Amino acid sequence: MKVILETKVRKKPYLPIEAESIIPRNFLKGTDLTVFEGNKERGLADIFWIFVEGTSVTPEQIEVVLKGDTSRIKRVGEYMDAGKITIAGDIGMHCGNFMSGGDIEISGNADAWLGREMRGGHILCRGDAGHYCASGYRGEKTGMRGGRVEVLGNAGDCCAEYLTGGEVHIHGSCGDMAGVEMKGGEFIIEGNATRPRGNMKDGTCRTFGTVQDMPPTFEATGARLLPDRKVTMGVYKGDVANRGKGILMIRDTRV
C-alpha cells in the first residue's frame, strides 16, 4: 500500500505544521488524520492532496510518500515502528523522533533534531542535516539508543550528542562539538570535525578528515590499520577527565 501526500498551496506557507500523525501505522484505518498548522488543528486533506494505491493489513507493507513543499513540516515519523516514509524534498525539525522501526528516506535536507532519541530503524538523509542530529533533546541525558542514521551530506553542531547506542554515519563534515557526552554506539565522520567528543564515556568514534581543537583530555594509545580502507588511524582513549572508556580514532595524515 502506498499513500502519497502532496502539499497544497497554503495562504501562510511559513507557518510550521506539526505532523506527528504521519506514520505508516496510522494509515491502516484510513486517511482521516489531523495535523496542526500553527496553533490550528487541520484535517490531513486540508494540507495535502491524498492519493492511496493498494491496501494493507500491516504497517510493514505501507509506504508514505511526501511531495511538494515539505520543509516546514515537523515531527514526521515520530514514534514510527514499521513501514517506510519517503520524502521527495526537504523536511522540517524532529523527523523520526523516538523512531523504533521502519525506514525513512529524505531526498533533500533535514532540519534540526533528525532522529532525536531514536531507538531503532533506519534514516537516510541524502542532503545535509541540521544541528543535534541523532542526539537527545535539551536537558535529556540519553540520545539515540539504537538504529542507524546516515547523512550523505554535512551535519550541524552537536551531532550525536549523548549517543548511547546504534550507528551514526556522516559522509560529510560535522559542526562544533560532535559526539559530546557519548555513552556508546558507533559514530563515523568521513569529513572534518571541531572540538569533538568532549566528556565521552564510551562508544567508538572514527574521523577520517581533519580534527580542529581536539580536547586535550584524550590519551594516545597507538595506531591501528583499517584494512578495508587501507588507512592508519591514531587511537585515543577517553575522555580521561571523565574516566571515560571511549575509543576515538583519527586518521593519521603522516603516513
Total structural domains in the chain? 2
pLDDT score at 252: 61
Q: Nearest CA to 179 among 115, 134, 130, 244?
A: 134
Task: Say yes or no: 162 and 250 in one domain.
Answer: yes
Dist. CA 70–CA 76, nearest whole Å: 10
CA dihedral (83, 109, 21, 138) in degrees, to 10, reads 110
State pLDDT tens for residues 61-104. Answer: 999 999 999 999 999 999 999 999 999 999 999 999 999 999 99
Are residue 172 and residue 89 in the same domain, yes or no? no
Same domain, 82 and 150: no
On whether the CB atoms of residues 174 and 187 are closer than 8 A, the answer is no
pLDDT for 214: 86
pLDDT tier at 115 (50, 70, 90 boundaries)?
very high
Is 92 within the bounds of a domain?
A: yes
Write out the three cell numbers for 196: 569533538
- 254 pLDDT above the threshold of 80: no
Same domain, 6 and 95: yes
| Residue 120, domain member (yes or no) | no
Domain holding 221, by residue range, is 125-130+138-255
